[in-house]
Amino acid sequence: MAERSDPVQIMKQEVGKAAAARVKSNSIVGLGTGSTTAYAIEYLGKRLQQGEIKNIVGIPTSFQAEVLAKKYGIPLTSLDAVDKIDIAIDGADEVDPQKNLIKGGGAAHTREKVVDSLAEEFIVVVDGNKLVDKLGSTFLLPVEVIPMAIAPVMRSLAKLGGKPELRMGIKKAGPVVTDQGNLVVDVKFEQIDNPAELEKTINNIPGVLENGLFVGVADVILIGEIKDDQPVIREM
């Protein structure tokens, strides 16, 4: 994990902690992916181990979430074994004033959308740098694509006005491969004026599994900020 004295890490840690503090005993918890949610998983595990809460089971949204849940002692289950998710905690790459999101910076948005959409309460944890007036202003839109369709899907995304780029691995030669064995295309759109429409349009391209627009899914946004050198949590 990154150095916790770094202001961004402090914001992520505090907001992760604040979200974990909202989980009640006897809950089925969707466990998101990414560096901010990692703190929430850590603190949730600590609350469970310290007996502050009991009878929690997690549904991981990625291999990363599964590994962290095991590390911090959170029992896991799957969607086959439950008929509801009480609360999900997950990060985001961008958040607009209507609580719409871009997710998928860690290539986990497909499973995240399944789990986060099923949750009765979906809490998003972000540091203040993730807030934008319009989605797409700072972050490329991730799209998960089945490998045999990569060329036609990239052409279709370009026809929609986007600039698609195949996401390449770091410390791995070749492209990023998702937990489902697919590829990720990151698309730059000049403006995303209608996220709901774009989400559906992209998902209608044959070969696209899911894109990172989360429209009308988030219930609460918890924002970690630093004010007067102190971390503060704001709710939207």
Annotated binding site for substrate: 33-36, 90-93, 103-106, 130
109 is an interface residue for ligand R5P by CB under 6 A? yes
156 is an interface residue for ligand R5P by CB under 6 A? no
User: Which CB, 27 or 110, lies closer to ligand R5P?
Assistant: 110
**Minimum separation from the CB atom of position 129 to ligand R5P (A):** 9
179 is an interface residue for ligand R5P by CB under 6 A? no
Q: Is 146 exposed, middle or buried (0-12, 13-18, 19+ CB in 10 A)?
A: middle
- The residue range among 78-86, 102-110, 155-163, 180-188 that interacts with ligand R5P, by the rule CB under 6 A, is 102-110
20 is an interface residue for ligand R5P by CB under 6 A? no
Q: In sequence order, which residues have a C-beta less than 8 Å from that of residue 208 and are 6 or more positions away?
A: 143, 144, 145, 149, 153, 202
Whether 210 is catalytic is no
Q: Which position among 94, 112, 144, 199 bears the catalytic label? A: 112
| Strand locations in the chain (E) | 28-31, 57-60, 85-90, 94-95, 101-102, 119-127, 141-145, 163-166, 183-188, 208-211, 213-214, 220-227, 230-235
**Minimum separation from the CB atom of position 108 to ligand R5P (A):** 4
d(CA 63, CA 67) in angstroms, rounded, equals 6
CA distance between the termini of the chain: 27
104 is an interface residue for ligand R5P by CB under 6 A? yes
Query: Residue numbers of the site for ligand R5P (CB under 6 A)?
Result: 32-37, 90-93, 103-109, 112
